Protein backbone atom coordinates (compact mmCIF):
# COMPACT_ATOMS: atom_id res chain seq x y z
CA UNK A 1 0.00 0.00 0.00
CA UNK A 2 1.49 3.33 -0.95
CA UNK A 3 2.03 5.78 1.88
CA UNK A 4 -0.10 8.49 0.33
CA UNK A 5 -3.15 6.22 0.52
CA UNK A 6 -2.91 6.43 4.32
CA UNK A 7 -3.76 10.15 4.25
CA UNK A 8 -7.54 9.60 4.58
CA UNK A 9 -6.90 7.40 7.62
CA UNK A 10 -4.60 10.01 9.17
CA UNK A 11 -7.41 12.51 8.71
CA UNK A 12 -9.82 10.22 10.57
CA UNK A 13 -7.26 9.61 13.31
CA UNK A 14 -6.61 13.38 13.45
CA UNK A 15 -2.90 12.56 13.48
CA UNK A 16 -0.31 13.31 10.79
CA UNK A 17 2.56 10.90 11.26
CA UNK A 18 6.16 12.01 10.99
CA UNK A 19 7.15 8.39 10.40
CA UNK A 20 4.51 6.90 8.11
CA UNK A 21 6.09 3.47 8.50
CA UNK A 22 4.95 3.36 12.13
CA UNK A 23 1.34 3.63 10.99
CA UNK A 24 1.91 1.06 8.25
CA UNK A 25 3.42 -1.33 10.77
CA UNK A 26 0.46 -0.82 13.12
CA UNK A 27 -1.78 -2.04 10.30
CA UNK A 28 0.41 -5.03 9.32
CA UNK A 29 -0.89 -8.40 10.48
CA UNK A 30 1.61 -11.18 11.06
CA UNK A 31 0.10 -13.20 8.17
CA UNK A 32 1.04 -10.50 5.63
CA UNK A 33 4.75 -11.01 6.27
CA UNK A 34 4.48 -14.66 5.28
CA UNK A 35 3.71 -13.54 1.73
CA UNK A 36 5.91 -10.41 1.73
CA UNK A 37 9.19 -11.47 3.30
CA UNK A 38 10.93 -8.55 1.59
CA UNK A 39 8.79 -5.98 3.43
CA UNK A 40 11.10 -3.81 5.49
CA UNK A 41 8.63 -3.68 8.39
CA UNK A 42 7.65 -5.92 11.28
CA UNK A 43 4.12 -6.99 12.14
CA UNK A 44 2.02 -5.01 14.59
CA UNK A 45 2.19 -7.18 17.71
CA UNK A 46 4.93 -5.22 19.49
CA UNK A 47 3.06 -1.97 18.81
CA UNK A 48 -0.09 -3.63 20.11
CA UNK A 49 1.75 -4.53 23.33
CA UNK A 50 2.81 -0.90 23.77
CA UNK A 51 -0.58 0.53 22.81
CA UNK A 52 -2.35 -1.71 25.30
CA UNK A 53 -0.27 -0.20 28.13
CA UNK A 54 -0.80 3.38 26.92
CA UNK A 55 -4.54 2.80 26.57
CA UNK A 56 -4.81 1.36 30.07
CA UNK A 57 -2.99 4.21 31.82
CA UNK A 58 -4.92 6.91 29.94
CA UNK A 59 -8.29 5.28 30.63
CA UNK A 60 -7.34 4.66 34.27
CA UNK A 61 -6.39 8.31 34.74
CA UNK A 62 -9.56 9.47 32.95
CA UNK A 63 -11.81 7.38 35.20
CA UNK A 64 -9.90 8.30 38.37
CA UNK A 65 -10.12 12.04 37.72
CA UNK A 66 -13.65 12.05 36.28
CA UNK A 67 -15.45 9.85 38.80
CA UNK A 68 -13.95 11.02 42.08
CA UNK A 69 -16.58 9.42 44.33
CA UNK A 70 -16.55 5.96 42.72
CA UNK A 71 -14.74 3.08 44.44
CA UNK A 72 -11.88 1.19 42.80
CA UNK A 73 -13.98 -1.95 42.25
CA UNK A 74 -16.46 -0.10 40.05
CA UNK A 75 -13.69 1.80 38.29
CA UNK A 76 -11.99 -1.50 37.45
CA UNK A 77 -15.22 -2.83 35.95
CA UNK A 78 -15.79 0.36 33.98
CA UNK A 79 -12.22 0.34 32.68
CA UNK A 80 -12.64 -3.24 31.47
CA UNK A 81 -15.74 -2.20 29.54
CA UNK A 82 -13.80 0.55 27.75
CA UNK A 83 -10.67 -1.41 26.82
CA UNK A 84 -12.17 -4.79 25.91
CA UNK A 85 -12.01 -6.21 22.39
CA UNK A 86 -15.66 -5.48 21.68
CA UNK A 87 -15.21 -1.77 22.35
CA UNK A 88 -11.92 -1.64 20.44
CA UNK A 89 -13.56 -3.40 17.50
CA UNK A 90 -16.34 -0.78 17.51
CA UNK A 91 -13.64 1.91 17.42
CA UNK A 92 -11.96 0.17 14.48
CA UNK A 93 -15.26 0.13 12.58
CA UNK A 94 -15.81 3.81 13.36
CA UNK A 95 -12.37 4.63 11.94
CA UNK A 96 -12.76 2.32 8.93
CA UNK A 97 -9.54 0.49 9.80
CA UNK A 98 -10.39 -2.74 7.99
CA UNK A 99 -9.81 -1.33 4.52
CA UNK A 100 -6.29 -0.28 5.54
CA UNK A 101 -5.13 -3.58 7.04
CA UNK A 102 -2.23 -5.48 5.51
CA UNK A 103 -3.42 -9.09 5.52
CA UNK A 104 -2.35 -12.26 3.72
CA UNK A 105 -4.62 -13.38 0.86
CA UNK A 106 -5.92 -16.21 3.03
CA UNK A 107 -6.60 -13.97 6.01
CA UNK A 108 -8.27 -11.37 3.81
CA UNK A 109 -10.65 -14.02 2.43
CA UNK A 110 -11.43 -15.47 5.85
CA UNK A 111 -15.02 -14.57 6.69
CA UNK A 112 -14.77 -15.64 10.35
CA UNK A 113 -16.31 -12.66 12.09
CA UNK A 114 -14.77 -13.38 15.49
CA UNK A 115 -11.29 -13.68 14.03
CA UNK A 116 -11.62 -10.41 12.09
CA UNK A 117 -12.99 -8.57 15.13
CA UNK A 118 -9.99 -9.74 17.13
CA UNK A 119 -7.56 -8.58 14.44
CA UNK A 120 -9.23 -5.16 14.25
CA UNK A 121 -9.32 -4.71 18.03
CA UNK A 122 -5.60 -5.49 18.17
CA UNK A 123 -4.95 -3.06 15.31
CA UNK A 124 -6.52 -0.22 17.34
CA UNK A 125 -4.08 -0.91 20.16
CA UNK A 126 -1.22 -1.02 17.66
CA UNK A 127 -2.30 2.33 16.20
CA UNK A 128 -2.31 3.80 19.71
CA UNK A 129 1.22 2.47 20.18
CA UNK A 130 2.29 4.02 16.88
CA UNK A 131 0.76 7.39 17.76
CA UNK A 132 2.54 7.30 21.12
CA UNK A 133 5.95 6.61 19.54
CA UNK A 134 5.48 9.12 16.73
CA UNK A 135 3.72 11.98 18.52
CA UNK A 136 4.10 11.39 22.24
CA UNK A 137 1.72 10.74 25.12
CA UNK A 138 -0.32 13.95 24.84
CA UNK A 139 -1.43 13.18 21.26
CA UNK A 140 -2.08 9.52 22.08
CA UNK A 141 -4.13 10.66 25.07
CA UNK A 142 -6.16 13.05 22.90
CA UNK A 143 -6.93 10.20 20.49
CA UNK A 144 -7.96 7.81 23.29
CA UNK A 145 -10.17 10.38 25.02
CA UNK A 146 -11.98 11.25 21.77
CA UNK A 147 -12.50 7.80 20.31
CA UNK A 148 -12.67 5.51 23.36
CA UNK A 149 -13.22 7.32 26.67
CA UNK A 150 -16.06 9.28 25.05
CA UNK A 151 -18.13 6.07 25.01
CA UNK A 152 -18.33 6.00 28.82
CA UNK A 153 -21.70 7.78 28.99
CA UNK A 154 -23.32 5.15 26.74
CA UNK A 155 -21.74 2.35 28.77
CA UNK A 156 -23.15 3.72 32.01
CA UNK A 157 -26.55 4.46 30.49
CA UNK A 158 -26.89 0.89 29.19
CA UNK A 159 -25.12 -0.83 32.10
CA UNK A 160 -22.76 -2.27 29.48
CA UNK A 161 -20.04 -2.60 32.12
CA UNK A 162 -21.96 -5.58 33.43
CA UNK A 163 -21.72 -8.93 31.69
CA UNK A 164 -25.01 -10.11 30.08
CA UNK A 165 -25.86 -12.51 32.93
CA UNK A 166 -25.37 -9.78 35.55
CA UNK A 167 -27.36 -7.30 33.47
CA UNK A 168 -30.23 -9.74 33.07
CA UNK A 169 -30.21 -10.58 36.78
CA UNK A 170 -30.21 -6.90 37.74
CA UNK A 171 -33.13 -6.16 35.41
CA UNK A 172 -35.08 -9.27 36.50
CA UNK A 173 -34.82 -8.30 40.14
CA UNK A 174 -35.71 -4.71 39.34
CA UNK A 175 -38.65 -5.46 36.99
CA UNK A 176 -39.98 -8.78 38.28
CA UNK A 177 -38.58 -9.10 41.78
CA UNK A 178 -37.13 -12.54 41.03
CA UNK A 179 -33.69 -14.02 40.42
CA UNK A 180 -33.26 -15.83 37.09
CA UNK A 181 -31.91 -19.36 36.89
CA UNK A 182 -30.49 -21.53 34.09
CA UNK A 183 -31.13 -25.17 33.22
CA UNK A 184 -29.33 -27.38 30.70
CA UNK A 185 -31.92 -28.47 28.13
CA UNK A 186 -29.68 -30.35 25.69
CA UNK A 187 -26.12 -31.64 25.60
CA UNK A 188 -24.63 -33.16 22.46
CA UNK A 189 -21.39 -33.96 20.69
CA UNK A 190 -18.15 -35.68 21.73
CA UNK A 191 -16.34 -34.63 24.90
CA UNK A 192 -13.83 -32.48 23.03
CA UNK A 193 -16.53 -30.61 21.05
CA UNK A 194 -19.70 -30.53 23.11
CA UNK A 195 -22.64 -28.26 22.42
CA UNK A 196 -24.91 -27.10 25.23
CA UNK A 197 -28.40 -25.64 25.02
CA UNK A 198 -29.44 -23.79 28.15
CA UNK A 199 -32.81 -22.41 29.16
CA UNK A 200 -33.14 -19.09 30.97
CA UNK A 201 -36.01 -19.05 33.46
CA UNK A 202 -37.82 -16.54 35.59
CA UNK A 203 -39.45 -18.77 38.20
CA UNK A 204 -41.13 -21.45 36.01
CA UNK A 205 -41.32 -19.35 32.84
CA UNK A 206 -38.84 -20.21 30.08
CA UNK A 207 -37.71 -16.85 28.72
CA UNK A 208 -35.14 -17.84 26.10
CA UNK A 209 -32.65 -20.51 25.10
CA UNK A 210 -28.95 -20.11 24.46
CA UNK A 211 -26.41 -22.35 22.76
CA UNK A 212 -22.65 -22.56 23.21
CA UNK A 213 -19.59 -24.77 23.38
CA UNK A 214 -19.62 -24.51 27.19
CA UNK A 215 -22.34 -24.10 29.79
CA UNK A 216 -21.11 -20.58 30.54
CA UNK A 217 -21.15 -19.58 26.86
CA UNK A 218 -24.69 -20.96 26.49
CA UNK A 219 -25.84 -19.06 29.57
CA UNK A 220 -24.39 -15.81 28.25
CA UNK A 221 -26.12 -16.39 24.89
CA UNK A 222 -29.42 -17.02 26.69
CA UNK A 223 -29.00 -13.88 28.80
CA UNK A 224 -28.29 -11.76 25.70
CA UNK A 225 -31.37 -13.20 23.98
CA UNK A 226 -33.41 -12.55 27.12
CA UNK A 227 -32.33 -8.91 27.31
CA UNK A 228 -33.34 -8.46 23.68
CA UNK A 229 -36.66 -10.32 24.00
CA UNK A 230 -37.76 -8.37 27.07
CA UNK A 231 -36.29 -5.10 25.74
CA UNK A 232 -34.13 -4.76 28.85
Q: Which residues contact 46 (CB under 8 A, 6 or more apart)?
A: 129
Task: Please check whether residues 58 and 170 belong to one and the same domain.
Answer: no
pLDDT, tens digit, 9 for 90 and up, residues 105-142:
877 777 767 788 999 999 999 999 999 999 999 999 99
173 band by pLDDT with thresholds 50, 70 and 90: very high
Q: What's residue 157's pLDDT? A: 82
Q: What's residue 119's pLDDT? A: 94
Tell me the CATH number at 212.
3.30.160.20
Q: Which residues are catalytic, by number?
A: 52, 125
Q: What's residue 1's pLDDT? A: 43
Angle in degrees, CA 85, 88, 93, rounded to 5: 120
Q: How many residues does the chain have?
A: 232
Q: What's residue 13's pLDDT? A: 97
Task: Please check whether residues 63 and 99 belong to one and the same domain.
Answer: yes
For the chain, the average pLDDT equals 91
DSSP for residue 102: B
Domain count, the chain: 2
pLDDT, tens digit, 9 for 90 and up, residues 206-222:
999 999 988 988 998 99
How far apart are alpha carbons 205 and 48 in whole angstroms?
Answer: 46
Count CA atoms closer than 13 A to 11's CA, side-chain side. Answer: 5
pLDDT, tens digit, 9 for 90 and up, residues 24-72:
999 999 999 888 877 788 899 999 999 999 999 999 999 999 999 998 8
Task: Please check whether residues 105 and 177 belong to one and the same domain.
Answer: no
Task: Please check whether residues 186 and 143 belong to one and the same domain.
Answer: no
Specify whether the CB–CB gap between 120 and 97 falls below 8 A. Answer: yes
pLDDT of 23 higher than 80: yes
Amino acid sequence: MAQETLKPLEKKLEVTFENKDLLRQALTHRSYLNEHADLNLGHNERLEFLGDAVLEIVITEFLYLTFTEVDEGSLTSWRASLVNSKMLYATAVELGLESYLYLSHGEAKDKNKKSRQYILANAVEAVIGAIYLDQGLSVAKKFILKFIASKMDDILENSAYLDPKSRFQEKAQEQRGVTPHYEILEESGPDHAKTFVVGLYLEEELITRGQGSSKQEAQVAAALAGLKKLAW
